[in-house]
């Protein structure tokens, strides 16, 4: 009896174990597919998003990454960074070309483990061109040719033995990849000289640059052999969207206006206060996204800061207005303009005149508008009995009829001579009989140590001019 129960228990355990083992077989659970879209020009923003997407896919323990692409290309450096990320990925990376994988898009596609294309799509035309479509010099083409070859070679190939002959066949022919860049490459039956290679889906399949043709993502996954899956799609973060807003030329112009306005109001008030904080915040909001987008380089930001320092030295330390002030204005202006131009260090060969003109116009209009706006706001925002900040201005009248009497202790100083204790531009301090007084120049800037004479005084304020002895 006991042996019968024991046998039944063993059979029951075997059934349970078999069932559990069947459920644990690889491929039976839903596979996690992480989808990442590249449907715009390849740029620093796409590279940042690629890093975020691969990191998230890894943290979610995805089974594979599927790139959904439709792009006409973009910057080579960012495409190369994405290519390297794909080649070093521990997860298999597939790509679905939904119409276009041109130029930088072709480089990224070849780096993936498998390529699938939509009917009517194309891959190739990877010649490096500028923003007007003109071909760049050969030093750019040389880099792209070698990168395309190396990417194709990374997928390996097969050794084929035929009789006594041994040949090696690449899974993706590096010569074909190079022909997508260089019009001088000739491959019998595929491309003639004078033409840059671009494949249709069927041509790509025939020559090993496409594993299948599909209408949509589900068809791609079906061809891969995935029927049960969970699809998670990368969504740009709020920060990415905010950066996209800040790099808009209109927003950049507005930030320049705020920078100028903050500096202007800071110069009108003693000490370091709220206007300077606003100006610094606006400068950070201006340069930070441009730096992340690869437009503003370290040296461009540096020359802007150096320019501001020279302007500050000219105003508060160095008497008069000369070389330091002019150099400061030039450097600050140059830093703002160059941060909007997509140049590579000091190489402007790839930068089109219209881009430079757009940057110049943005900065000039913003500076001019900021200056005018500062003048208007300074007159209206602190006007007594009006405006949101009316309580920050003095609006109490000390009427003489109510007993308020002004005592003028400096009336005897009219006609007195002394020297400028600080630079008067036009306000400052003067030294008369070894005493320091507030004063205002009535004839422009008076440099420090220049001799002055008191012309008149009003409300405890001296008004001076240079003496003839200067």
3 domain-assigned: no
Query: What string of DSSP letters covers 259-319?
Result: HHHHHHHHHHSSSS-HHHHHHHHHHHHHHHHHHHTT-S-HHHHHHHHHHHHHHHHHHHTSS
Residues 413 and 308 in one domain: no
**Using CA atoms, how far apart are residues 265 and 392, in angstroms rounded to an integer?**
14
Query: Strand, helix or coil at 238?
Result: helix
Q: Look at residues 214, 233, 252 and tell me which one is the last residue of a structural domain.
A: 233
301 C-beta neighbours (distance < 10 Å), count: 19
**Structural tokens at position 301:** 């930001």
415 domain-assigned: yes
Per-residue pLDDT, 361: 82
225 domain-assigned: yes
Residues 57 and 94 in one domain: yes
42 domain-assigned: yes
CB 102 within 8 A of CB 126: yes
Nearest to 292 by CA among 338, 332, 246: 246
**Count of structural domains, the chain:** 3
388 domain-assigned: no
Residues 163 and 298 in one domain: no
Residues 229 and 244 in one domain: no
Only one residue has tokens 């008069």, namely 320
Residues 59 and 186 in one domain: yes
Burial 147-185 (b: 16+ CB within 10 A, else e): bbbebbeebebeeeeeeeeeeeebebbbebbbbbbbbeb
Residues 228 and 247 in one domain: no
**Using CA atoms, how far apart are residues 60 and 62, in angstroms rounded to an integer?**
5
Per-residue pLDDT, 206: 94
Nearest to 261 by CA among 375, 176, 428: 375
Residues 162 and 186 in one domain: yes
4 domain-assigned: no
307 domain-assigned: yes
Residues 346 and 422 in one domain: no
Per-residue pLDDT, 362: 79
Residues 52 and 176 in one domain: yes
Residues 180 and 38 in one domain: yes
Range(s) of the domain holding residue 449: 408-466
**Using CA atoms, how far apart are residues 118 and 211, in angstroms rounded to an integer?**
11
103 domain-assigned: yes
Residues 197 and 66 in one domain: yes
Q: For residue 147, give the CATH number of its domain.
A: 3.90.226.10
Residues 224 and 270 in one domain: no
| DSSP E strand stretches across 79-185 | 93-102, 114-117, 122-124, 157-162, 165-170
Per-residue pLDDT, 22: 43
pLDDT tens string, the chain, 470 residues long: the values are 445 545 444 444 444 444 444 433 444 478 999 999 999 989 888 998 999 999 999 999 999 999 999 999 988 888 999 999 999 999 999 999 999 999 999 999 999 999 999 999 999 999 888 766 778 888 889 999 999 999 999 998 877 776 667 777 789 999 999 999 999 999 999 999 889 999 999 999 999 999 999 999 999 999 999 999 999 999 988 877 787 777 777 787 788 888 887 777 766 665 556 777 888 888 888 888 877 776 677 888 888 888 888 877 776 666 555 677 788 888 888 888 888 776 656 665 656 666 677 778 878 887 777 777 766 766 665 554 555 555 544 555 555 555 555 544 445 688 889 999 988 877 888 898 888 888 888 877 888 888 999 888 776 678 889 887 76
């Amino acid at each position: 009896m006991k042996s019968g129960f024991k046998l039944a228990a063993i059979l029951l355990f075997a059934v349970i174990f078999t069932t559990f083992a069947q459920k644990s077989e690889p491929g039976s659970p839903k596979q996690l597919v992480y989808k990442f879209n590249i449907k715009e020009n390849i740029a620093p923003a796409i590279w940042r998003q690629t890093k975020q997407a691969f990191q998230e896919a890894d943290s979610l323990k995805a089974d594979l990454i599927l790139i959904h692409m439709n792009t006409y290309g973009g910057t080579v450096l960012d495409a190369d960074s994405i290519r390297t990320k794909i080649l070093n990925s521990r997860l298999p990376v597939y790509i679905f070309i939904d119409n276009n994988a041109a130029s930088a898009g072709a480089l990224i596609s070849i780096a993936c483990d498998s390529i699938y294309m939509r009917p009517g799509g194309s891959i190739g035309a990877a010649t490096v061109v500028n923003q007007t479509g003109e071909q760049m010099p050969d030093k750019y083409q040389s880099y792209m040719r070698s990168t395309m070859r190396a990417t194709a070679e990374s997928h390996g190939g097969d050794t084929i033995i035929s009789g006594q002959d041994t040949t090696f066949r690449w899974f993706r022919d590096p010569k074909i990849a190079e022909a997508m860049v260089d019009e001088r490459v000739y491959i019998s039956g595929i491309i003639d000289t004078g033409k840059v290679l671009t494949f249709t889906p069927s041509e790509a399949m025939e020559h090993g640059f496409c594993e299948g043709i599909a209408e949509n993502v589900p068809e791609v996954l079906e061809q891969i052999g995935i029927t049960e899956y969970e699809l998670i799609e990368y969504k740009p973060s709020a920060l990415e969207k905010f950066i996209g807003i800040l790099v808009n030329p209109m927003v950049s112009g507005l930030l320049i206006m705020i920078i100028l306005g903050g500096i202007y109001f800071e110069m009108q008030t003693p000490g370091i206060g709220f206007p300077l904080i606003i100006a610094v915040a606006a400068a950070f909001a201006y340069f930070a996204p441009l730096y992340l987008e690869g437009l503003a380089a370290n040296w461009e930001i540096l020359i802007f800061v150096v320019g501001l320092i020279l302007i500050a030295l000219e105003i508060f330390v160095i008497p008069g207005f000369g070389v330091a002030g002019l150099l400061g204005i030039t450097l600050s202006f140059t830093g703002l303009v160059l941060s909007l131009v997509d140049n590579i260090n000091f190489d402007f060969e790839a930068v089109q005149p219209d881009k430079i003109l757009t940057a110049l116009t943005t900065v000039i209009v913003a500076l001019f508008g900021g200056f005018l706006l500062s003048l208007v706001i300074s007159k209206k925002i602190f006007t007594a009995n009006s405006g949101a900040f009316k309580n920050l201005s003095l609006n109490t009248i000390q009427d003489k009829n109510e007993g308020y009497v002004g005592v003028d202790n400096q009336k005897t100083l009219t006609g007195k001579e002394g020297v400028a204790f600080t630079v008067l531009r036009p306000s400052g301090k003067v030294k008369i009989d070894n005493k320091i007084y507030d004063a205002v120049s009535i004839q422009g800037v008076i440099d420090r140590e220049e001799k002055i004479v008191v012309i008149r005084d009003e409300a405890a304020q001296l008004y001076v001019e240079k003496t003839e002895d200067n």
